[in-house]
Amino acid sequence: MFAPQFALAPSVAVPADRQRSPREGPQMSTPRQVRAPAVYVSGRAAADPASTMAIRLPSPPRWDDRRPSAWAAERRARKAYFAALDALATGLVVAEDVAKLDRLILDVRSATARTALGQLRRVFEYAQRTTGDDDPAILPAAAGPCDRIVVALPVGERDERPEVLAERYAWTLEWLRTRRFVVGGKGLAIEWRVARAAGREVPPPGGMSCAPAGSAM
């Protein structure tokens, strides 16, 4: 979600007899920047088609188990996910929300969920670094709720049936509805698109581009 920070080692003189020839290639490869899985949502306002929305959101945490002991943690994760998205939408980071997420990361046992929750932690950090005084919001909204959207997903979805994807990304859709980014009820039409290869993200349709701020997550 955020590019890792690497400290530069101090410069050390290497004896001539131990120096590598350019033909031998580099001693070590440069760390590859890996972006966290994200959901790209784009659409046009129902009341004003000229007004568009194109945003990048973190994927909701994925659990690798469904034991009863994980259900309570999953409810806490949902609250943390909503709080992280709210931080992007408003530019306001609530310290209590961050503290609750930190406790949840310590409590959760699912490795996949712990990784996803760590990504939410970086969303809070990103929102705190990025927001400004004049316009604190990071996610630009359309002039009104969208009634037709395209949801572009990362590679790795085993079942691409719309009803399965709607369940997997139910938290994302619920947040979009409750925050009035999209219309509620059955009035919302969704087109799902899934990336076919890692690193090849599905672009928004119709020439719309995602919020520049989201590209850093």
Task: Give yes or no: residues 176 and 196 share one domain.
Answer: yes
Task: Give yes or no: residues 71 and 47 share one domain.
Answer: no
Structure confidence by residue, pLDDT tens digits, 130-163: 865 565 678 887 888 999 999 999 877 778 899 9
The predicted pLDDT at position 4 comes to 32
Residue that terminates a domain, selected from 138, 171, 199: 138
Residue 112 lies in a domain: yes
Give a three-class secondary structure readout of the chain: CCCCCCCCCCCCCCCHHHCCCHHHCCCCCCCCCCCCCEEEEEEEECCCCCCEEEEEEECCCCCCCCCHHHHHHHHHHHHHHHHHHHHHHHCCCCHHHHHHHHHHHHHCCCHHHHHHHHHHHHHHHHHHHHCCCCCCCCCCCCCCCEEEEEEEECCCCCCCCHHHHHHHCHHHHHHHHHCCCECCHHHCEEEEEECCCCCCCCCCCCCCCCCHHHHHC
Task: Give yes or no: residues 80 and 43 share one domain.
Answer: no
Task: Give yes or no: residues 131 and 151 share one domain.
Answer: no
User: Is residue 13 predicted with pLDDT exceeding 80?
Assistant: no
Calculate mean pLDDT across residues 33-49. 83
Cα 61 to chain centroid, rounded: 10
User: Is residue 120 predicted with pLDDT exceeding 70?
Assistant: yes
Task: Give yes or no: residues 117 and 164 share one domain.
Answer: no
Task: Give yes or no: residues 132 and 149 share one domain.
Answer: no
Residue 21 lies in a domain: no
Q: How many domains does the chain have?
A: 2
Task: Give yes or no: residues 94 and 115 share one domain.
Answer: yes
For residues 26 and 95, which has the higher predicted lDDT (pLDDT)? 95
Average pLDDT, the chain: 76
Phi, psi of 214 (to 5 degrees): -65, -20
The predicted pLDDT at position 64 comes to 63
Task: Give yes or no: residues 188 and 82 share one domain.
Answer: no
Residue 170 lies in a domain: yes
Task: Give yes or no: residues 144 and 53 share one domain.
Answer: yes
What residues make up the domain containing 42?
37-57+140-211
The predicted pLDDT at position 155 comes to 73
Residue that terminates a domain, selected from 102, 120, 138: 138
User: Is residue 3 predicted with pLDDT exceeding 90?
Assistant: no
Cβ-based neighbour number of residue 70 at 10 Å: 17
For residues 142 and 22, which has the higher predicted lDDT (pLDDT)? 142
The predicted pLDDT at position 198 comes to 56
